[in-house]
Structure 1
């Protein structure tokens, strides 16, 4: 569905379900050079099992209009404005990679509007190497190839992949290429720069009071589990789940990710 915001419209995948004010809402936030479709398998299940779903396309990504935003703080403020425009006062926020920083910052900016926080493939600081930043700026296709290789634990499909012929690495590569085609203004560099520059993560993490879930890929080379100690130490009440996957854990292990998310979202308070 399209949500009207001042200046441009924003797209949110809702799982084909109309908004029901009596139900809880979960907001899914994608990472760099991606769109809402990375959450396809998880978001549709939630939509058909008692939740309102907003799987967003960030500005400049997918079907949302406008230019890509240049900082995590701006993206978090945009997300909160989108929730308000969609009639969502309070929600579960689930973010992957760059999206996890956006979710964390949104919880810092408006803690009363976040009931639960799920951070997937996250770390802080989320530093990007100078070599990858330079490649993203000057040779986006090469950066896509690099990140696609780094983000998957193997070329072979995991048992929980949707079915025969589903090529996880190929699908991820085509999605990133499509983002370049519809927004050629150095989108990958803009996203990576925002991750690299974000400096409020520790303060935001220390302020988190709501239930929190960390989901890590045990073979993640982009945000390896060993790099996550600052966040997990700052949010001591957070639950940690590890799945057998790389950075693109929602596609590599969709069932395990869904089980962890749904169990977290439906657990008694």
Structure 2
């Protein structure tokens, strides 16, 4: 493995049916002392190619290979939604590589039985009606109601990115999300600091399920935002950017 670079390395992991582009505006003004890596998760990105294995563990191995190739040894992981699940898998497999972890609208809990059933319903809808129609109904509710009109252009961009994701990736990731394990022990055993970013109006990671997790890491930080759903990087970019920058400054 290559020697770690002198610059602190921040690894930004996007979520399900997203792409590294979600971080472009968010990180535009980050200090140059940081090196930023924004890998595309398997089957995602500007030129998505379906892969054989979409499990969260396989996605984590793909990300690990990318920051190994970049010569990054110890990193701060910033994971949005599914990206947070991938970050947790990386932290479990290689805790010595993690300087800090940001769970950005993400959780260490597995799917509930109700959520697993909903994943199956979503997969059936995709098979019958296609990815585009599914995404037009799935992404809008992730924004807090008060933000949907204000962020219409950003919502359209997210929908277009999601609609371009291969059906095989959508179906593979839905299955991977359904079967991801309970990772509460990773937070409880963490030797690295953890920042939780949550939204009061997040339908995907409800605040009442997130709050008990805040007490688990030995070093825990939190930003809980009113009027924000599941997409704080566009719903409250200044507040979430400042929280991530302050966290990185403290751990790097």
Shorter-normalised TM-score: what interval? Answer: 0.7 to 0.9
Q: CA–CA distance in 2 between the matches of 1:192 and 1:169?
A: 21
Look up the match of 2:181: 199
Q: CA–CA distance in 2 between the matches of 1:264 and 1:223?
A: 21
Do residues 265 (structure 1) and 252 (structure 2) align? Answer: no
List alignment gaps of at least 5 residues for structure 1.
1-19, 159-165
- Deviations, residues 75-104 of structure 1 (Å, cap 9, x unaligned): 112211211111111110000101111111
Look up the match of 2:122: 135
1:241 to 223, 240, 246: 223
Q: Between Structure 1 and Structure 2, how many residues are aligned?
A: 238
Look up the match of 1:148: 139
Q: CA–CA distance in 1 between the matches of 2:51 and 2:5?
A: 31
Residue pair 1:26, 1:92 contacting (<8 A) in 2 also:
yes
Q: CA–CA distance in 1 between the matches of 2:61 and 2:202?
A: 29
Look up the match of 1:76: 60
SS at match of 1:167: helix
Look up the match of 2:43: 60
Q: CA–CA distance in 2 between the matches of 1:68 and 1:253?
A: 36
1:117 to 81, 101, 104: 101
Do residues 176 (structure 1) and 162 (structure 2) align? Answer: yes
| TM-score with structure 2 setting the length | 0.86
- The structure-2 alpha-carbon separation of the partners of 1:214 and 1:261, relative to structure 1 and needing over 3 Å to count, comes to same
Look up the match of 1:222: 204
Residue pair 1:219, 1:245 contacting (<8 A) in 2 also:
yes
Look up the match of 2:233: 250
Within 5 Å, give how 1:84-123 maps onto structure 2.
Answer: 84-123=68-107
Q: CA–CA distance in 1 between the matches of 2:57 and 2:189?
A: 16
Residue 200 (structure 1) shift: 4.2
SS at match of 2:73: coil
Report the more deviating stretch, 105-114 or 67-76. 67-76
Residue 268 (structure 1) shift: 6.3
SS at match of 2:78: strand
1:212 to 179, 194, 211: 194
Residue pair 1:118, 1:212 contacting (<8 A) in 2 also:
yes
- The structure-2 alpha-carbon separation of the partners of 1:153 and 1:75, relative to structure 1 and needing over 3 Å to count, comes to same
- The structure-2 alpha-carbon separation of the partners of 1:30 and 1:69, relative to structure 1 and needing over 3 Å to count, comes to farther
Report the more deviating stretch, 88-97 or 123-132. 123-132
Residue 41 (structure 1) shift: 1.7
Q: CA–CA distance in 2 between the matches of 1:43 and 1:69?
A: 30
Q: CA–CA distance in 1 between the matches of 2:121 and 2:52?
A: 18
SS at match of 2:167: coil
